[in-house]
Amino acid sequence: MDRTFLLMLSNLLHLHNSLDPTSSFLSPSSTSPSSSSSSSSFPSSSPSSILSSSAAAPILFFTLASVLSFLASSKASTSSSPSLRSNSSNSPSPSPPSSDYSVSAFRALSTDHIWSIDAPLRDAQWRSLYGLSHPVFTTVVDKLKPFIAASNLSLPSDYAVAMVLSRLSHGFSAKTLASRYSLDPYLISKITNMVTRLLATKLYREFIKIPVGRRRLIETTQGFEELTSLPNVCGAIDGSPIKIRGLNLERTGNKLYKCRYGYDSVLLQVVADHKKIFWDVCVKAPGGADDAAHFRDSLLYNRLTSGDIVWDKMINVRGHHVRPYVVGDWCYPLLSFLMTPFSPNGTGSPAQNLFDGMLMKGRSVVVDAIGLLKARWKILQSLNVGLNHAPQTIVACCVLHNLCQIAREPEPELWKDPDEGGPLPRVLESEKQFYYYGESLRQALADDLHQRLSAR
């Protein structure tokens, strides 16, 4: 029995006994003389009527005590039960201070398949809050809902995704979102880690794909050729340091994360197609590493050097069999599948300088893609998550970037990184066969380009 109820009942009975000593709750053997005198003064009263009148008060007290105890216990359970608090937060009525962040704002949204969207919806308010239009947002929610539901999260899937997207798109800290969503900062961090992990693992293979299929490969190479006049370009590669806030690794003497711009970071490497869609993402190196070392440590490099990736398209240029290749700046090694400029300062022949100009024009696609990535997901401008969760957060933003590009979301003003530089990478012994063939292939492409454009 409830302890509060017992205490209340005891007090009421003590009060009753002090007021009515003839109470029927006293045992018959303890009947006092006053009780017998009371009986003789009412000779017309039967024993049953005497019992009824003496028991009325305690029964009344008992009833009142029961009602009071029930009300008190109901109020306590309502205010302290986590499940009830969860249900009330999941109700359509907005509990956060701003109605823009209420659960009801995410109900009854139409779900359109991302690949069938012809034009982006002009919903400026939704994009300003979460960085995505309704169709893209609901696509993300629908794809993550089974995994979020399996985690027994107390929040609805769309509410959790919206909360994380608002953090990624605005760079909010967990503490800021905690006050906005009336949740604990630890829970905000936990939900952020869960959603970004799901984006980086469950959706990566669906939305970040190497263009090995013939239809997409032809579309990509044709798109780059229209831009650069170079045949069979299938992607552009570049790296960018992602600043991590609050590492403070100098105290331990760890300077590996200090990038060339002077702040602690991790290095992001991406390969983009002509539509600024990433088809490869790698986050494996600290900010102090160079682009060549990061590339050589990537899965893409291992697959290309081992012949695991087979491009289903080959052309002949001046007697050279040219398979699809990637373009990059002089920070990357020259290889048969990675073309780089002849010279970073334009000291080559006219054909070589022309080739360099067109190659860097193709490389500008990936520079713009990184600028869009950091402009859309401002958390990447100064990452405020733990170092262990930094890679999955960065990859999650890349997945979301691709969703935006596929859906043709409006492109914001580009985030500009400082101009980069660095020494030319040395050729490794294991790369010499790729380097020598790449050298002759690059010269053939330059001569062919110069001849074609001069004949126009």
The Cα 245–Cα 261 span in angstroms is: 14
Q: How buried is residue 254: exposed, middle or buried, by Cβ count under 10 Å (0-12/13-18/19+)?
A: middle
pLDDT at 333: 96
pLDDT at 451: 94
Contact (Cβ atoms closer than 8 angstroms) between residue 250 and residue 382: no
pLDDT at 423: 76
pLDDT tens by residue, the chain, 456 residues: 445 545 555 555 554 555 444 444 333 333 333 333 333 333 333 333 333 344 445 555 555 555 554 554 444 444 433 332 333 333 333 333 333 444 443 343 333 333 333 444 446 777 888 898 878 888 999 999 999 999 888 788 888 998 999 999 999 999 988 888 788 899 999 999 999 999 999 999 999 999 988 899 999 999 999 999 999 999 999 999 999 987 766 554 578 899 988 899 999 999 999 999 999 999 999 999 999 999 999 999 999 999 898 788 899 999 999 999 999 999 999 999 999 999 888 788 999 999 999 999 999 999 999 999 999 999 999 999 999 999 999 999 999 999 999 999 999 999 998 777 777 899 999 999 999 999 999 999 999 999 999 887
- Considering just the CA atoms, what is the radius of gyration of the chain in Å? 36
H-type alpha helices, 299-389: 299-306, 350-376
Cα–Cα distances in angstroms (integers) from residue 359 to residues 292, 431, 438, 451, in the given order = 18, 22, 14, 16
For 5, the token pair is: 């109820």
The Cα 87–Cα 181 span in angstroms is: 15
The Cα 299–Cα 290 span in angstroms is: 16
H-type alpha helices, 337-377: 350-376
The Cα 88–Cα 93 span in angstroms is: 8
pLDDT at 216: 93
Vertex 67, ends 61 and 72: CA angle to 5°?
A: 120
Strands 265-272 and 278-286: antiparallel
pLDDT at 158: 86
The SS3 call for residue 42 is coil
For 94, the token pair is: 């907005």
Q: How far apart are the first and last CA of the chain?
A: 97
Strands 265-272 and 315-317: unpaired
For 165, the token pair is: 């997207």
pLDDT at 45: 37
pLDDT at 44: 36
What φ, ψ does residue 309 adopt, rounded to 5°? -95, 120
pLDDT at 165: 95
Which string of DSSP letters, residue by residue, matches 81-110? Answer: -HHHHHHHHHSSS--SSSGGGSGGGGSS--
Residue with tokens 């899965």: 299
pLDDT at 266: 96
